[in-house]
Every structure is written in structure tokens, then in C-alpha cells.
């Protein structure tokens, strides 16, 4: 089996007081971090070194702090970023970590990422201030019983993190009622977050970020991006951004992201700092997969060796001469009659769908172009991110 490396970025709650101290001792890191702090308009170095746990729990601080750390640490890990895409099989981020993942995959720039995360944090903090809300992790117990208990109390399973960990979100009164009547054999752990993220309580923040996103220029990702919404591989930059915006008020299906990693044949998962949360989940959910939690800069040499061990040449061609349409999921590919009959596909043409046991996912050629080569046949089994069709951009040479 060929090795497959997946890079993941953690979400809010991963930050701890002083975690940035050893990183900022490197002048290059400090300089780059200072630039992203300037873009965000926040003294992130202060918050990552001197501020206490309660201060960095603030959504408006935590989110930019996490994204900036991930982006600058990625440049430390991969000093020549273009070379990284020959090693990385896929990227994924948990909640706000999706912004770091999108920038790492070159969908958006680091500067765009910092503006978006600054505004995301502000808007979510404002939405959270309307009603007293929160989140509680539920560890262990029976999945169906837990979901039934959440439904009974009007709570949302805001994070489904895989076997044995679901995060409930809702009003403090709803969470208190759950605590008084917990599901059998489950342990409840209130989380250090400021609101019911990934629920309808965050809808006002979605509107604010959606308005800003309309002015953000994007590129198609340079590697597979696994989406929180449904675990699908997304290879259209506009859709990556749209999903990040919508995810503010929708549950994080990290369990489905893990399924996709397994479908890809992942052999190694490296978590960007402040690391530990996602590698801990992966150890429980993906037996036999090696993990690396990058926490401090003295681990960088070992982290690079880990990436070299699990990295391989990507099959995602990224030359601007071609456009690739790729599969979002594992399943059976069914080509559409319309696409099969055309030599030139208009932008947005549905080329077919991938059918799995769970659902059927339509696939469109977002950019359109001249059909150069079908890379799969109707009825073929395909994997997440597998190229299906090669197009020549209309008007290209």
C-alpha cells in the first residue's frame, strides 16, 4: 500500500496559555507572525505568550490566533511550499481550522485568511452574546441514545468527532437539563468556548461572512481538501470558500472526514500546532494510522521526516494548462448522458454522480472547457479526490 499523508489543523479550544512562546523565539517565525497579526489588527503574540486561559477563550482572540499559528508553522515545516504538494495527500481543518487548511491548499492567501478569520471571530462572538449558549462534549455512551437525548432537550450535535465523542451545543438551560439527565455510560465535559457554534444560533455570522466572501478571489486547491460538512473532497475553490462560510452554523462532521481519510488510504496524519486534539481522535478512530502532533519547534526535524515517510507524489495535476474534475467521495461513478455527448462542456455542466451506500453526489465541471480525456469509465469504482475528467480551458492555447 502506498503511503498517504494528511495534514490537519485544529479548531477552537486547542489553544493553551503560553503555547506560542517557543515558536516566537525564532526570528523568522516571529516576523511572519507579526505580519499576520498586523493584517488581523490584533496583537496575537501577546495573546499566545502572556494572556491567561480565560482571555484566549474569547472567540475574537482564539480564532485568529489558531489560524495564524497554523499558517506560519506550515512555512516552518515546508520552507518551499510548492514542494509540499508533492507530499500531501489531503488537508482538513476542524471548524475554524478549515480556514488554515484552505490557505495551506492555496485556495485563499494567508492575508485573506486572516481577514476572514478576524471577521468570523467577531461575528460569532456577537451572535453568541445574544443568548447564553455553550457546548458540552459527551464522551462514551451509545451513539443513538446520545442523539435521542440531544433531540429531547433541543440540542444540536454540533461536532460529531467520531467514535465516543459528540459535542452538544445549545442554550445554557438546555445544557443544564442534559447534565441533570445524562445519557447512560456517558461522561459530560463542558467546553471552554463562548457560544453554541455550528448551530442556528450562529446564523447572523453566516450572513456577515457571506457578504465579505463575495469579494474574495479564490483558486482551486493544490491538493485534496476534505470538507467538514460531509467529509467530501472539494476541488472547486469557490465551493471550498462557500462551505467554510456555511459551516459556521452547520455541524462539523469530523467523523465523515475521518472516513474519507480512511478511504484515501491514509497512513500518516500530522496535526499543526497547537496540536494534540485531532491526533488523539485519530488514534481512537483510525487504528494502525501513524500520527504526529506538532507542538513545539524542536519537533520540526522529526515532523519533516514524518512527512517524507508518509508523503508521496500527488496525482493532482495543477498546471494551469489543464482543468481536472475530481470525485468528491468513494463510490461508483455514473456518467451523465449530456456530458458523454459533448466535446465542450459549458461551465457548471453536470458530468455525472458518485453513488455510495450513504448518498449520491452530483459532480459538475465548475469551469467548463474542452473534453481532453475521460479518466474513468461509467460504472467504475472511484476514490475521494480521484481525477475523473481532464478539460482544456476554453480560450486556452
- What are the helix and strand counts (H, E) for the chain? 16, 18
The tally of CA atoms less than 13 A away on the side-chain side of residue 391 is 25
Residue matched to cell numbers 465541471: 365
Cβ proximity of 175 and 155 under 8 Å: yes
The residues, ordered by sequence, that sit 6+ positions from 337 with a Cβ below 8 Å of its Cβ are none
Asked if 95 is an active-site residue, the reply is: yes
Grid coordinates representing 378 are 461509467
Which of 37, 94, 153, 198 is catalytic? The answer is: 198
Grid coordinates representing 78 are 515546508
Cβ proximity of 146 and 184 under 8 Å: no
CA dihedral for 36, 212, 11, 179, sign (positive or negative): positive
CA 29 to chain centre: 23
Which of 37, 95, 314, 364 is catalytic? The answer is: 95
Asked if 198 is an active-site residue, the reply is: yes
| Backbone dihedral region for residue 43 (phi beyond 0: left; psi -120 to 50: alpha; all else: beta) | beta
Residue matched to cell numbers 502532533: 293
The burial of 210, by beta-carbon neighbours within 10 Å (0-12 exposed, 13-18 middle, 19 or more buried), is given as middle
DSSP calls for 28-69: HHHHHHHHHHHHHTS-HHHHHHT--HHHHHSHHHHHHHHHHH
Catalytic annotation, residues:
95, 198
Amino acid at each position: 500500500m502506498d503511503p498517504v499523508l494528511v495534514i490537519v489543523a485544529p479548531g477552537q479550544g486547542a489553544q493553551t496559555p503560553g503555547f506560542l512562546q517557543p515558536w516566537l523565539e525564532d526570528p523568522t517565525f516571529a516576523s511572519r507572525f507579526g505580519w499576520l497579526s498586523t493584517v488581523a489588527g490584533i496583537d496575537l503574540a501577546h495573546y499566545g505568550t502572556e494572556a491567561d486561559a480565560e482571555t484566549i477563550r474569547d472567540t475574537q482572540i482564539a480564532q485568529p490566533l489558531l489560524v495564524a499559528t497554523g499558517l506560519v508553522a506550515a512555512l516552518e515545516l515546508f520552507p518551499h511550499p510548492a514542494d509540499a504538494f508533492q507530499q500531501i495527500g489531503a488537508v482538513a481543518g476542524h471548524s475554524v481550522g478549515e480556514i488554515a487548511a484552505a490557505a495551506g491548499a492555496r485556495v485563499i492567501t494567508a492575508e485573506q485568511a486572516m481577514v476572514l478569520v478576524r471577521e468570523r471571530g467577531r461575528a460569532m462572538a456577537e451572535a453568541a452574546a445574544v443568548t447564553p449558549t455553550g457546548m458540552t462534549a459527551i464522551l462514551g455512551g451509545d451513539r443513538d441514545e446520545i442523539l435521542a437525548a440531544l433531540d429531547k432537550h433541543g440540542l444540536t450535535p454540533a461536532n460529531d468527532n467520531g467514535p465516543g465523542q459528540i459535542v452538544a451545543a445549545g442554550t445554557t438551560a438546555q445544557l443544564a437539563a442534559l447534565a441533570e439527565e445524562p445519557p447512560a455510560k456517558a461522561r459530560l465535559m463542558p467546553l471552554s468556548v463562548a457560544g453554541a457554534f455550528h448551530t442556528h444560533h450562529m446564523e447572523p455570522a453566516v450572513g456577515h461572512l457571506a457578504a465579505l466572501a463575495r469579494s474574495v478571489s479564490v483558486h482551486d486547491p493544490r491538493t485534496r481538501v476534505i470538507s467538514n460538512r460531509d467529509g467530501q473532497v472539494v476541488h472547486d475553490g469557490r465551493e471550498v470558500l462557500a462551505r467554510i462560510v456555511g459551516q459556521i452554523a452547520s455541524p462539523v462532521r469530523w467523523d465523515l472526514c475521518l472516513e474519507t481519510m480512511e478511504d484515501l488510504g491514509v497512513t500518516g496524519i500530522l496535526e499543526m500546532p497547537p496540536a494534540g486534539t485531532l491526533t488523539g481522535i485519530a488514534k481512537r478512530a483510525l487504528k494502525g494510522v501513524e500520527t504526529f502532533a506538532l507542538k513545539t519547534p524542536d519537533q520540526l526535524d522529526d515532523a519533516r521526516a514524518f512527512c517524507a515517510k508518509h508523503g508521496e507524489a500527488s496525482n493532482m495535476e495543477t498546471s494551469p494548462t489543464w482543468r481536472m474534475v475530481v470525485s468528491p467521495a468513494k463510490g461508483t461513478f455514473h456518467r451523465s448522458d449530456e456530458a458523454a455527448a459533448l466535446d465542450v462542456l459549458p461551465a457548471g455542466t453536470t458530468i455525472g454522480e458518485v453513488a455510495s451506500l450513504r448518498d449520491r453526489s452530483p459532480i459538475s465541471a465548475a469551469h467548463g472547457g474542452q473534453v481532453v480525456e475521460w479518466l474513468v469509465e461509467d460504472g467504475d469504482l472511484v476514490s475521494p479526490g480521484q481525477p475523473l475528467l481532464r478539460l482544456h480551458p476554453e480560450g486556452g492555447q
